[in-house]
Amino acid sequence: MIDLSKRELPMNRGKNIQIDFKDAEKNSVKFTLREAQCAKFIMHGRTLKQTAALLELSKRTVEFYFNNIKIKLGLTKKSDVVGLLFASDFLNKFQD
């Protein structure tokens, strides 16, 4: 079981996580550290509310970050975002 406590998350601010896609339409996308942290928790099945509690943010702030992710990926559904991130091997690229 992966421990997703916030102590495992990187704390250096301003770090961008670049995700390269094999799909010809999306060559690469950069996520902020907070967007990447939110994506990681959501990929592990956490709700927005649970993610907010784990990151000590408001639910609205997590919604804002996740909406940014959807915009950057050009997707509208949470399941599509999670599927694309799994397909791009996001969890291995975003190491704590």
What CATH number is attached to the domain comprising 60?
1.10.10.10
Number of domains in the chain: 1
Residue the block writes with tokens 């999670």: 82
CB-CB contact of 6 with 55 (8 Å): yes
- Decide if 52 is inside a domain: yes
Q: How confident is the model at residue 6 (pLDDT cuts 50, 70, 90)?
A: very low
Report the amino acid identity of residue 95.
Q
Encoded tokens for 46 = 């956490």
Q: Where are the alpha helices (DSSP H) in 1-96?
A: 33-43, 48-55, 59-73, 78-87, 90-93
- CA dist 81 to 14, 50, 55, Å? 23, 18, 20
Residue 53 scores a pLDDT above 50: yes
Specify whether the CB–CB gap between 48 and 60 falls below 8 A.
no
25 domain-assigned = no
pLDDT at residue number 78: 93
